[in-house]
Amino acid sequence: MPNITTTWVQQPQPITTGRYACLVHIYPSGNKLGQRYALGDYPVVIGRSDDNDIPIQDHAVSRKHARIDPTPDGVFVSDLVSTNGTFINDRQVNGTEVIHDGDYLRVGNNIYRFLAGGNVEAEYHEEIYRLTIVDGLTQIHNQRYLFDFLDRELVRSARHARPLAFVLFDIDRFKGINDTIGHLAGDYALRELAACVRDSVRREDLFARYGGDEFGIVLVETPPAEAREFAQRIRETVAKKVFRFEQHLLRVTVSIGVVCTAGDAVMTTKDIIQIADRRLSEAKHTGRNRVVGPDAVALSPERRLGGSRMPELVGTGPSFRRAM
C-alpha cells in the first residue's frame, strides 16, 4: 500500500439548511396557521413593518424585530434590539444564536417551528398534521383531540364497566393578567401552567387545552377518591409555583371541577364536560382556588337504558357558564 504523504485541502460542505429550511407558523391560529416561509440564501427580517420579509401585524412585535441568517455553518437568529425580545424554545436570544431543526421561534405573540432536516417536505406535512391535534401555544393536545379521546374512553368505560374521571380547570382571574400586564404575560402563564401540570399526568391519561385558559385532563381507570386526590394535587402544585414574567410576579391559582363515571350509565362527551363545567363554575362562585366534585351523578332511568335525556346533578350549583 503506497504511503500518503500529502493532505488535500477541501472546502467544507454546507449542512442541510439554507434553501432547504423553512419556518412554519403554528400560533396563533387563523388564516396564517401552517403557512410556510422558505429560507433561502439571503437574510430574512421579521417585524411589524410591511417592508419586512415576514411582516407581522402584532403590537408586541417591533418594526424590525429579528433577522434570520442562513449560512453554510447553520441558521442563525439575531434579535434587532426589539422591545419584547426574541425567543428560541422560550429562551431569550442575546445577540445572535443558532437555531436547530425542530426548535420553536417566538416573536411577540407569534410562534414558528423551524424545520431544516434531511426531508423538509415530509417534516412539513407531519407538522401540519400535528397542528390539527396539538395546541400551538402550550404544546399539549387541543380540544379536537380531547373530544376524540373522551369519546373513545367513555365507550370503553361503559363496555367494560370501568371507572373514568374528567378534570376541568381554568386560571382564576386570568383576564386580570391580560388587562393589567398584557397578553404576552397571559401567554406566558398558559405555557408555564401547561408545563407545570404536564409532569403530573400519567402516560395513559390525556392533558389538553380545552380553550382559552381552560384545560382538561382525562383520567382512565380512576375512581372518584383518586380523581379528587389528583385534582387537589394539581391545585396545590399550581398555587406553589412561582410565575415570574419579566419584573412581574404573577399569582396563579386554578379552580377545578371533577366528574367520574363507573361505566354503569350511558354518558356522552357533552354530558361529562357540562357536568365538569358546572362544578368548575361552583368552585369559582365559592371562593376560587378549590376543587368541586366528584359527587354522584344521578341519571334518570331513561339514560340508564340508553335514552337521550341529560344527567341530573346531585347538589346542583350555579348555572352553566356557556352552552356546549
Q: So which residues are the catalytic ones?
A: 213
Question: Do residues 162 and 109 make contact, with C-beta atoms less than 8 angstroms apart?
Answer: no
Measured CA angle at 87 (ends 81, 88), to 5 deg: 135
Is the Cα torsion angle 183, 184, 188, 194 positive or negative in sign?
positive
- Start-to-end C-alpha separation, the chain: 80
From the list 115, 118, 85, the residue with the least C-alpha distance to 103 is 115
- The Cα 128–Cα 33 span in angstroms is 9
Report the SS3 class of residue 42: coil
Do strands 86-88 and 91-92 pair parallel, antiparallel, or not at all (unpaired)? antiparallel
In single-letter form, the type of residue at position 280 comes to L
Find residue 260's DSSP bridge partners. 165
126's CB contacts (< 8 A; 6+ apart) are none
Find residue 257's DSSP bridge partners. 168, 292
From the list 234, 207, 222, the residue with the least C-alpha distance to 157 is 222
Instruction: State the DSSP string of 177-207.
Output: HHHHT-HHHHHHHHHHHHHHHHTTS-TTSEE
Question: Do residues 104 and 113 make contact, with C-beta atoms less than 8 angstroms apart?
Answer: yes
